[in-house]
Structure 1
Amino acid sequence: MVALLMCIIICWYKGESLILQVKFLFKTKNDINIEAFLKDHGALVQKRYKFSEIKKITNSFKIKLGQGGFGAVYKGKLVNGSLVAVKMLNASKGNGEEFINEVTSITRTSHVNVVTLLGFCFEGCNKALIYEFMSNGSLDKFIYNKGPETIASLSWDNFYQIAKGIARGLEYLHRGCNTRILHFDIKPHNILLDENLCPKISDFGLAKLCLEKESTIFMSNARGTVGYVAPEVWNRQFGGVSHKSDVYSYGMMLLEMVGVRNNIDVNTNQTSEYFPDWIYNKLEKESDLRPDIVMAIEENEIAKGMTIVGLWCIQTLPNDRPTMSRVIEMLEGSMNVLEIPPKPLVSSPTRSLLESSTS
């Protein structure tokens, strides 16, 4: 009996060793890179969770909050009762860069208008990021009035305060961190709202760290969402890629918030006509920007100011766009003194152009 028990124990240990060896052999280069990153940045990253813990936190992924380009987001609850949002990254998406981008970027931040990362999971093909829970979801559902239930409409002052909050968050990423962070995917879907409608920038999967405060950066291909991508990102002839590329995306989003532009036709996934002349004509004639709805004088002033700021942000050449610090000054100053900017020279790239540039 003793001899038999010893044989069983020896076989079990050998079997465990063989399983570990097989797992190591089949570990992808991306997984090895991520493990090396986590080892090198042990003091930087947040709490690490096991996948079994992620399943408990999300109650086996019972409540799905949304679906993004890099994975699905689920509602969860920590042991202490705190509600969280758990983003499960697609196993086949990218090369692990989005996971490293999120962890390196967001753990360097601490700002009221940037979402907080509470922890992560990296266990084989299971990669998850745990964020603070935002009870009002993303900004896009308020702009497009879409969702499983009827969405309460936001007032013009709400949109105005949200616009200023996003601007402050972007200014912090560009100037407030020791290392400048370029987001590269500013859009309504990536702006989350808490219970007080305080906006928080999220989804840093495409982010880049810029070591030199005023420098441009090199990118081998275009990145971002069609309709929000700055001209220089898809064609370097317009200038270098820098923090001004985020300014462009912010401007696009402002114009969608005001309602003078539907950036993407949801039925065709193609960019719509690029800022027709009627926007400028209405600004010059001081006509109502939204004749389809009844607006008070104060509301029309807010819409007009946000539109002018948005048009400054989407100027074709990066040097013609304001910094986010200047954007905040314009939003917080008198709307009546804002000058109408010149018309942009070119249109935003079509989906086919972006796809060809990334292939």
Structure 2
Amino acid sequence: MASHNLLPTLLTLLLSLRTRAFAPEISTEEKGKYPFACDGHAKKCNASLYHINKGLQMEQVAYFYSVNLTQISPTLHRNTQDYLVTVPCYCETVNGTTGYFYDAPYTVRENDTFQNVSNQIYSGQAWEVGDEEDTFKKGNKVPMHLLCGCIEIDSQIVVTYSVQKQDTLLDIASRLSSTTSGILSMNGFMNGDPSFIKEDWVLYIPKEINGIPTSPSKIDGTALESEKPVIYTAEEIEEATNNFDETRKIGAGGHGSVYFGVIGGQEVAIKKMRSIKSKEFLSEVKILCRVHHINVVELLGYASGDDHLYLVYEYIQNGSLSDHLHDPLLKGYQPLSWTARTQIALDAAKGIEYIHDHTKKRYVHRDIKSSNILLDEGLRAKVTTKTDVFAFGVVLAELITGQRALVHDNWEPNKMRSLITVVYKIFEDEDPESALENVVDRNLQGSFPMDYVYKMAEIADWCLSENPVNRPEMRDIVPTLSKIMSSSEEWEASLAGNSTVFSGIYNGR
């Protein structure tokens, strides 16, 4: 799936082509780690180092990197809270090698080796200069030359990132507000090949400081007109679903039923539709074969039979957001923490924003709901392409309250009321913060940062404006949700693991 991130301008692309790590005469297979060349660029800048958390608390990270806590930003990756550490990056010569480095002072302890310290504390980003055997003695204070980079593009900061197991270039670009093309141009040793990266490579990532780039001039792996889905046979579909065995049925909607299947060893979700729905079928295929984004469920292909048409999607194994919000324990799920909810809200918003603004046409569908937001094994959200800002406001209200879009009225149990009216009443109240606190999901057990819950509720209210003219664009929502998520992660980190919310969901992910 392609990243939601765009290149800001063609000029930025041309500049980034001139800004890259240099590679000495050694094969990519052997090394995959080089200093960032500083010829012709700034001698000093702020850069960011991606710290892969292997058990250190935020205060310990600050100590080892010799920075203040304000220079560290938590970032959630799969089930682990990693950190982005902002450091001053200098062009200097280290044992004959000129490049950008940040020198972190380290006091050698007993049994320390350079490689162990680099890997365990500095995420494998320390540059080995050759004299470590002599200097790495207990009690010695040695500089750990950490790789960093500078570029002359004000909207970007270079992140030093060590490739982790199961990473793809697309995932890295999405998480760090970058583009695969930008990463490839900055790391010349990759020879322009986005399909091959190795664990422990150290890459330089041109990260957009303010989040998603705004120019629609180019999208990573964009939805090209030439892209077509795979065409399967009806026999393959029947075999994959065991002839549509009812035990394989995992969902149903207005346009058909959805079955779990396996094709070529890959788990898939197959939507079975009657042929009279051919208009909807062709419309959905036309859209989805051009939509590739980490937060959008991917269409793999389709098939047609005598009476039915079939859409084959990637299988998202952790159910829908609705399953995790409404009576989760009865469905075998643990309640979502506040931080997990902010991540899901941001993921969904990015997927919708991509569909609205960054596909070749502006696609807008009118069926976004919590059951159409699917969660992967890391509780990251993917949206189906039936989306709309007003309905997204309802989803935000569900995330905050844990209630369904339609709920029983407290005063008249035989009647239903819309969650929309709940949001309206909150902001009509003389004390909206107290009114909001009264309806926050009890599954959160009182563990949430009220300031950021309120900010998310304000976004929900904005999306639910009765006059469509007053509703925001998704591109307006994403940066605000991003700030709410990062602030919520900082709040969670401040708990220092002493709370049940310190893991994404209660009692572990």
TM-score, length of structure 1 as denominator length: 0.63
The offset of 1:136, in angstroms, is 0.6
Partner of 1:283: 432
2:263 is aligned with 1:78: yes
Q: Which residue of 1 aligns with 2:333?
A: 151
Distance in 2 separating the partners of 1:90 and 1:265: 32
Alpha-carbon shift at residue 158 of structure 1 (Å) = 0.9
- Does the residue aligned with 1:103 lie in a helix, a strand or coil? helix
Residue 331 (structure 1) aligned with residue 492 (structure 2) = no
Q: Does 1:139 align with 2:285?
A: no
Following the alignment from structure 1 to structure 2, what is the Cα–Cα distance between the partners of residues 127 and 273? 35
1:295 is the counterpart of 2:450:
no
Range with bigger deviation, 45-54 or 288-297: 288-297
The SS at the match of 1:309 is helix
Residues 153-191 of structure 1: per-residue CA shift (max 9 Å, x gap): 111111110000111111111111121111211111111
Query: How far apart in 2 are the matches of 1:177 and 1:292?
Result: 35
Aligned match of 2:273: 89
User: Which moves more between the two structures, 144-153 or 268-277?
Assistant: 268-277
Instruction: Determine if the alignment matches structure 1 residue 195 to structure 2 residue 380.
Output: no
Query: SS at 1:192's partner residue?
Result: strand
Q: Which residues of 2 match residues 236-255 of structure 1 at below 5 A?
A: 246-255=388-397
Question: For the Cα contact (< 8 Å) 2:394–2:419, is it kept in 1?
Answer: no
Alpha-carbon spacing, 1:90–1:301, altered in 2? closer, same or farther (3 Å): farther
Match of 2:418 in 1: 272
Which of 35, 48, 53 aligns to 2:236? It is 53
How many angstroms apart in 2 are the aligned matches of 1:72 and 1:87?
A: 6
Alignment of 1:168-247 (within 5 A): 168-202=350-384, 204=386, 246-247=388-389
Offset of residue 202 of structure 1: 1.4
Return closer, same or farther for 1:71/1:287 CA change in 2, 3 Å cut-off: closer
Aligned to 1:27: none
Alignment CA distance shift 1:158-1:88 (3 Å) = same
Q: Secondary structure at the match of 1:75?
A: strand
Which amino acid is 1:304 matched to?
Y
Structure 2 counterpart of 1:262, which letter?
R
Partner of 1:319: 469
CA-atom RMSD in angstroms: 3.0
Q: Which structure: greater helix fraction?
A: 1
Matches within 5 A, 1:57-68: 57-62=240-245, 63-68=248-253
- Which of structure 1's runs of 4+ aligned residues deviate more than 4 A? 265-271, 284-287
Higher strand share: 2
Q: Closer, same or farther in 2 for the Cα pair 1:321/1:101, shift >3 Å?
A: same
Secondary structure of the structure 1 residue equivalent to 2:451: helix
Do 1:45 and 1:103's aligned partners in 2 also have CA atoms closer than 8 Å? no
Residue deviations 1:16-65, cap 9 Å, x none? xxxxxxxxxxxxxxxxxxxxxxxxxx955311112111011112223111
Name the SS for the 1:181 alignment partner.
coil
Query: Does the CA-based 8 Å contact 1:279-1:289 persist in structure 2?
Result: no
1:121 correspondence with 2:303: yes
TM-score (norm: length of structure 2): 0.45
Cα pair 1:142 1:151 within 8 Å, conserved: yes
What are the superposed Cα offsets for residues 98-147 of structure 1, whole Å, 9 maximum, x if unpaired? Answer: 20121011111111011111111112212111000100111111121259
- Can you list the C-alpha shifts for 1:56-90, whole angstroms capped at 9, x where unaligned? 111222311111221111111112x1111111114
CA contact (8 A) 1:113 1:169 kept: yes
C-alpha deviation, 1:284, in angstroms: 4.7
8 A contact 1:283–1:289 mirrored in 2: no
TM-aligned CA distance change 1:105 to 1:167, over 3 Å: same
- Any unmatched runs of 5+ in structure 1? 1-41, 208-245, 338-359
Residues 295-317 of structure 1: CA deviation (Å, up to 9, x unaligned): 1352x333222211100111011
Superposed CA offset, 1:269-297 (max 9, x none): 96537524642225255762446733135
% identity of equivalent residues = 31
Q: Assess if the C-alpha contact under 8 Å between 1:115 and 1:132 holds in 2.
A: yes
Contact between 1:250 and 1:313, CA under 8 Å: does it hold in 2?
Answer: yes
Q: Is this contact kept in 2: 1:86–1:131, CA < 8 A? A: yes
Contact 2:278–2:309 (CA<8 Å) still a contact in 1? no
CA 1:140/1:268 → structure 2, altered by over 3 Å: closer, same or farther? farther
Aligned-partner SS, 1:312: helix
